[in-house]
Structure 1
């Protein structure tokens, strides 16, 4: 009786396999046409009418003047006017809002996507400068970590910094100071940075395992907007100088 049951079960499995193998196969099909985008493509009047109110409102918001710059703040490899300005703002803002003694502030040059012009600075300028949702983070660094950071900056020259002065030659670290003072072996340094870098972005994996003193929900973009608005209300203009924070031969 057991053998009969086994044979029946095997026959049933075989029958299912045979039936499914003979069943018609279904497949999804779609059709489409390639339409090259060019000046010959006609606008959809219905679509234009639908988006126009939103487009006008957005343009009005982005064209709002929130500050004035005394000169164009531009980017470059290593130290730059824009990099010094943003790194300084980040350091001062973190100290004020978080009530922490920030030693070093860095911003990746690739994270700043556009320069700031001389004259009026609009809300749109800041969104173009900082389009990514990068959040302010404070890391705790020991002396060895600071040394690793300085060596990385000297090698790749892709960071802007506040609170540190670095010199190097042929991608090798020479000397560096923290706020004008030599590195102290037995103390902890606080680094203001964005969460992208703190999590190891831009090949900075050595930062990802470091303890975070603060993880905030403060966007770099919102921080810049708030600071620039406050400067404008106080009659201050944006400005920066090349101060020799990074000297590479």
Structure 2
């Protein structure tokens, strides 16, 4: 496991200057940033190192805390993947549990999942590595036309994980798709669980930016994952996922 602490407190050992600029026009929370790298030959100040060391040790211990067990390695790839199915399902289940509503579709972009989960012990650090960004849960309302556009986008890009849809595509085109086994209903309002980065048009999903927002939460994706994994563990369940044919592209 990569050292999560280094990501969190590395600025304490450098002269890096970090600037954050808010970038979410519709929904809050999202930020972009940059940094000015320090000269690698500059040595850390001994007094500062001594001051930070206790916090470093505490953080490393916390990140090593085991919160679950996985029956297999949950990995990423284009289109349908084990990790994508797992995260999309947890996001959907959490939203239904939290808001007492039925979520039709849940999606997560592959770029939002930055690391796989190993077989065996799953630590808090594993989840921070998987979801290092401050992405927040949002619930959007979609018409049948909006769902059609979403399916077309997914078939063309093949960079999304989904729960609640089954898509068959040829090349970059949708051949057919269903929502939870059913054809589209032109009179239905579909609820989509998604992160605010995508809801704000990230990853070229501009067609989402003007959709009605049912819920705009302050819940981080990684906090949701941690909570849901701990709940599974408390029930004696292990992490698992299957390739189910949610996305089939020729």
For the criterion TM > 0.5, the same-fold answer is yes
Deviations 1:44-99 (A, max 9, x none): 43232121111001001101000110100000011000000000001111001111
> TM-score, normalising length from structure 2?
0.83
Counterpart of 1:245? 246
Counterpart check, 1:92 vs 2:65: no
Deviations 1:147-173 (A, max 9, x none): 000000000000000000001011011
Give the C-alpha shift of residue 198 in structure 1.
Answer: 0.6
> TM-score, normalising length from structure 1?
0.83
Structure ranking higher in strand proportion = 2
Cα distance in structure 2, aligned partners of 1:65 and 1:184: 44
Moved over 6 A (4+): none
Give the C-alpha shift of residue 37 in structure 1.
Answer: 2.5
Question: Alignment partner of 2:241: what SS?
Answer: coil
Question: Alignment partner of 1:244: what SS?
Answer: coil
Question: Alignment partner of 2:248: what SS?
Answer: strand
Deviations 1:112-146 (A, max 9, x none): 00000001100010011001111111000001000
Question: Alignment partner of 1:202: what SS?
Answer: helix
Counterpart of 1:37? 40
- Residue segments in structure 2 that go unaligned for 5+ positions in a row: 1-37
Structure possessing the higher radius of gyration over alpha carbons: 1
Query: What is the Cα-based RMSD across aligned positions, in Å?
Result: 1.4
After the TM superposition, which residues 151-170 of structure 1 pair with which residues of structure 2 at under 5 Å, given as runs?
A: 151-170=152-171
Counterpart of 2:204? 203
Counterpart of 1:186? 187
Give the C-alpha shift of residue 42 in structure 1.
Answer: 5.4
Aligned length: 214
After the TM superposition, which residues 44-193 of structure 1 pair with which residues of structure 2 at under 5 Å, given as runs?
A: 44-193=45-194
